[in-house]
Chains A and B, each alone.
Chain A
Amino acid sequence: MSLSHYLVLAAILFTIGAVGVLVRRNAIVVFMCVELMLNAVNLTLITFARSTGTVDGQIIALFVMVVAAAEVVVGLAIIMSIYRTRRSASIDDANLLKY
């Protein structure tokens, strides 16, 4: 058992989140996957904070949480707005910005 266990776990969680972003179509679930990626990053930050013996990593993680909260608020508002006009929460339906 060492700290790299945490880091590898975080890497795997991050990858799962990324793959989730790629394969899921429901915008809300995609958002959840993004949250999962952010959480994985937070785990690495906290692990490294412990490794180096400074609290800075934890503070960065706190900021990540705050920013994630703001992102969720705005993102969900956007999803709601799109849903209200298009009656769909699928991100594949929002594909007007193309060639």
Chain B
Amino acid sequence: MSETLPADGLLGWSWLLIALPLAGAAVLLLGGRRTDRWGHLLGTATVGAAFLLALLCTVQLAGQDGTPADVELFTFIATGELDVTAGLLFDPLSAVFVLLITGVGSLIHVYSIGYMAHDPGRRRFFAYLNLFVAAMLLLVLGNSFVALYVGWEGVGLASYLLIAFWYTRPGAATAAKKAFIMNRVGDVGLALAIFIMFAQLGTTSYAGVFGSVGTLAGGTITAIGLLLLLGACGKSGQFPLQAWLPDAMEGPTPVSALIHAATMVTAGVYLIARSAPIYDLTPTARAVVLAVGALTLLIGAIAGCAYDDIKKVLAYSTVSQIGYMFLAVGLGPAGYVAGLAHLLTHGFFKAGLFLGAGSVMHAMDDQVDMRRFGGLWNKLPVTFATFGLGYLALIGFPFLSGYYTKDAIIEAAFDRADVWGWLLGGVAILGAGLTAFYMTRLMLMTFFGRRRWTEGQHPHEAPAVMTVPMILLALGSIGAGFVLVVATPLADWLEPVFGPPEEAAHAIPPVVVAAIVTGVAAIGVLAAWLFVGRREVPVTAPVRVSPVTRAARHALYADAVNESLFMRPGQWLTRALVWVDNRGVDGAVNGLAAGLGGSSSRLGRAQTGFVRTYALGMLGGAVVVAGALLAVTAG
């Protein structure tokens, strides 16, 4: 971050990355029904073009040794001391995200062509998707926290619109509102952090903030760090704001894949990684990040074990995996690269898993209950293969994507070489075992066992327009980890951002860690087979279950906690405020008015109508004036 080059060549055109999807969204939204026939193609084309441009930009960036390129666009806000210049920063970190967003985004756009083929709102869907891609690119490309915030709110809006895409379903509308409101809670934190930067540093650009953040008091830096973390938690579905993410699965499956698995929910990780210079100065906030990550990791994994809705299981898996990423970036310099690598590989295999789930739902007439699946492996061979590869990558099967990146995180946790390191590493390993359990359970219930389909279902493989993206993402699931960690290490690529990768002094040899993780995952798989695969899966969920299962089914009562801690007190507060408003404020105002009215009607009695009374008053006044004059002159 120390030096930037003025953007020239293709990098000068990097604003097109945002402009292309934005233009696509504008054309589709303003064009109306005229664009119905080719709208989805335009939407896909803009994102595809953005991907190509991003590739070229990245190549140029690599050519200049990853020196960040700063693109000045225009003066956004200029009032008094407040001077916000809208600009883009294309550096290795942005480049990684841009490639992920446009790459996975392109694939999911292509997939959506098939998935939404029969939906009357397909044009609207692609418009929102394009809007999302534009906002997400602004989020990662902006060169200041304000630009990031604009993108942040933009993706929040797109997320809301897409969750509520089938807005006639009450569930979708409610889920969208829930997501929006819980995101607002986080956004308040982000906004407050930016306000503090304004007030204390007078700037919000990354360069300005990171250059002078060291001059602030420790408490202020911690406050900024914690507020940024609150924003990140809201956007990434981390504890305590994790409850919205599973509900967000009410949206179309490509949305779940793109926004609520691969890209938007990882914005929190991006924010913390981007703000690394701030977190480097505040161990307190960093410790909180660690705690949040570890806690969320477990919550997501436990809840994922109990749900029967295939998308919700994947959603809790996402929550859990982002917990891993938070854990990684909370570890400090040692973990940034590991967290981002896991973010990228997770983007591939989780998107692939969601697309696979979408394919299954497509085949099963939008059925999401896994208890109604079973034995699908030979009906949906491509889906089974790609889904299975994503599954193996997620549970950390050796030499697939997750193996490299998740193990790196666990290693980094152990590398702290203190009690916390052991604790965090233990949690991460436990999470890996749980992940293996719930994903195996999902696989067994969906693709194996007896066919528990409802009457009249004839599963069929999805068309090529859907399977090809799945295959490509499956290839990513296989190779991304190897490519990012071994072949072209991400650490080297991100060196301009995070500094040179330090040679960690491993407390436990990586091989041992890998063996332990793999062993625990194997135990999880075995447990899943013992509990699910070996036995008949009941079509309806058993009611008499252990308290642990019941708690997991309720996502560890996150919603109940939210309701009892925030919603009901909020309602009470609102009622109390209404009461205060009615009785207190209105009472005061009405009382004042009544008092004025009463006193004026009493004072009005002084208006007797007798001229002589008034004249008496005048004479009295004259006496007072004369006396005052005399007193003044004589005194």
Chain A interface (Cβ within 8 Å of chain B)?
18, 21-23, 25, 91-92, 94-99
**Which residues of B are found within 8 Å of A25, using beta-carbon distances?**
612
Inter-subunit contact B608/A21 (CB<8 Å): no
Instruction: Give bound CA distance, A95 to B610, whole Å.
Output: 5
Judge if B609 is at the interface, Cβ distance under 8 Å: yes
- A45 to B: closest C-beta gap in Å: 19
10 closest residue pairs by CB, A with B: A95-B609, A98-B609, A99-B604, A98-B607, A99-B607, A91-B611, A95-B610, A21-B615, A22-B612, A22-B616
Q: Which chain B residues numbered 596 to 626 have a C-beta less than 8 Å away from chain A?
A: 601, 604-605, 607-612, 615-616, 619
Instruction: Give bound CA distance, A25 to B612, whole Å.
Output: 8
Instruction: Give bound CA distance, A98 to B616, whole Å.
Output: 16
**Which residues of B are found within 8 Å of A21, using beta-carbon distances?**
612, 615
Instruction: Give bound CA distance, A12 to B454, whole Å.
Output: 116
- B612 to A: closest C-beta gap in Å: 6
**Which residues of B are found within 8 Å of A22, using beta-carbon distances?**
612, 615-616, 619
- A37 to B: closest C-beta gap in Å: 11
Kindly count the residue-residue contacts between A and B in the assembled complex, taking CB atoms under 8 Å apart: 32
**Which residues of A are found within 8 Å of B619, using beta-carbon distances?**
18, 22
**Which residues of B are found within 8 Å of A96, using beta-carbon distances?**
609
Inter-subunit contact B607/A92 (CB<8 Å): no
**Which residues of B are found within 8 Å of A98, using beta-carbon distances?**
607-609
- With known contacts A21-B615, A22-B615, A22-B616, A99–B610 Cβ distance under 8 A: no
**Which residues of A are found within 8 Å of B604, using beta-carbon distances?**
99
Given A99-B601, A99-B605, 11 extra CB contacts under 8 A? A21-B612, A22-B615, A22-B619, A23-B612, A91-B610, A96-B609, A98-B607, A98-B608, A98-B609, A99-B607, A99-B609
The listed residue (A18, A23, A95) touching B608 by CB distance below 8 A is A95
**Which residues of B are found within 8 Å of A92, using beta-carbon distances?**
610, 612
- B235 to A: closest C-beta gap in Å: 66
Chain A, interface SS category: loop
**Which residues of B are found within 8 Å of A99, using beta-carbon distances?**
601, 604-605, 607, 609
**Which residues of A are found within 8 Å of B601, using beta-carbon distances?**
99
What are 14 residue pairs bridging A and B, where the CB atoms are less than 8 Å apart in the complex?
A21-B612, A22-B615, A91-B610, A91-B611, A92-B610, A94-B609, A94-B611, A96-B609, A97-B607, A98-B608, A99-B601, A99-B604, A99-B605, A99-B609
**Which residues of A are found within 8 Å of B610, using beta-carbon distances?**
91-92, 95
- A31 to B: closest C-beta gap in Å: 12
Instruction: Give bound CA distance, A22 to B608, whole Å.
Output: 15
Instruction: Give bound CA distance, A94 to B607, whole Å.
Output: 13
- B605 to A: closest C-beta gap in Å: 6
Instruction: Give bound CA distance, A18 to B626, whole Å.
Output: 15
Inter-subunit contact B609/A97 (CB<8 Å): yes
Identify the interface centre among A23, A94, A98: most chain B CB within 10 Å of its CB: A98
Instruction: Give bound CA distance, A92 to B607, whole Å.
Output: 13
In the complex, what residue of chain A is closest to B619 when comparing beta carbons? Answer: A18
Instruction: Give bound CA distance, A23 to B611, whole Å.
Output: 11
Identify the interface centre among B609, B615, B616: most chain A CB within 10 Å of its CB: B609
In the complex, what residue of chain A is closest to B604 when comparing beta carbons? Answer: A99
- B87 to A: closest C-beta gap in Å: 71
In the complex, what residue of chain B is closest to A24 when comparing beta carbons? Answer: B612
**Which residues of B are found within 8 Å of A95, using beta-carbon distances?**
608-611
Instruction: Give bound CA distance, A91 to B614, whole Å.
Output: 12
- B628 to A: closest C-beta gap in Å: 17
Instruction: Give bound CA distance, A22 to B615, whole Å.
Output: 7
Instruction: Give bound CA distance, A94 to B611, whole Å.
Output: 8
In the complex, what residue of chain B is closest to A19 when comparing beta carbons? Answer: B619
**Which residues of B are found within 8 Å of A18, using beta-carbon distances?**
615, 619
In the complex, what residue of chain A is closest to B605 when comparing beta carbons? Answer: A99
**Which residues of B are found within 8 Å of A94, using beta-carbon distances?**
609, 611
Instruction: Give bound CA distance, A26 to B365, whole Å.
Output: 104
Instruction: Give bound CA distance, A18 to B621, whole Å.
Output: 13
Instruction: Give bound CA distance, A96 to B608, whole Å.
Output: 9
- B196 to A: closest C-beta gap in Å: 60
Instruction: Give bound CA distance, A99 to B605, whole Å.
Output: 6
- A38 to B: closest C-beta gap in Å: 15
**Which residues of A are found within 8 Å of B608, using beta-carbon distances?**
95, 98
**Which residues of A are found within 8 Å of B609, using beta-carbon distances?**
94-99
In the complex, what residue of chain B is closest to A21 when comparing beta carbons? Answer: B615
Instruction: Give bound CA distance, A22 to B622, whole Å.
Output: 14
Convert B56-94 into 0s and 1s, putting 1 for each residue whose CB lies closer than 8 angstroms to a CB of A. 000000000000000000000000000000000000000
- A7 to B: closest C-beta gap in Å: 14
Instruction: Give bound CA distance, A79 to B183, whole Å.
Output: 80
Inter-subunit contact A91/B607 (CB<8 Å): no
Instruction: Give bound CA distance, A97 to B616, whole Å.
Output: 17
Instruction: Give bound CA distance, A37 to B616, whole Å.
Output: 15
In the complex, what residue of chain B is closest to A91 when comparing beta carbons? Answer: B611
Instruction: Give bound CA distance, A4 to B11, whole Å.
Output: 100
Q: Which chain B residues numbered 1 to 26 have a C-beta less than 8 Å away from chain A?
A: none
Instruction: Give bound CA distance, A79 to B608, whole Å.
Output: 20
Convert B525-556 into 0s and 1s, putting 1 for each residue whose CB lies closer than 8 angstroms to a CB of A. 00000000000000000000000000000000
Instruction: Give bound CA distance, A25 to B610, whole Å.
Output: 10
Instruction: Give bound CA distance, A21 to B619, whole Å.
Output: 10
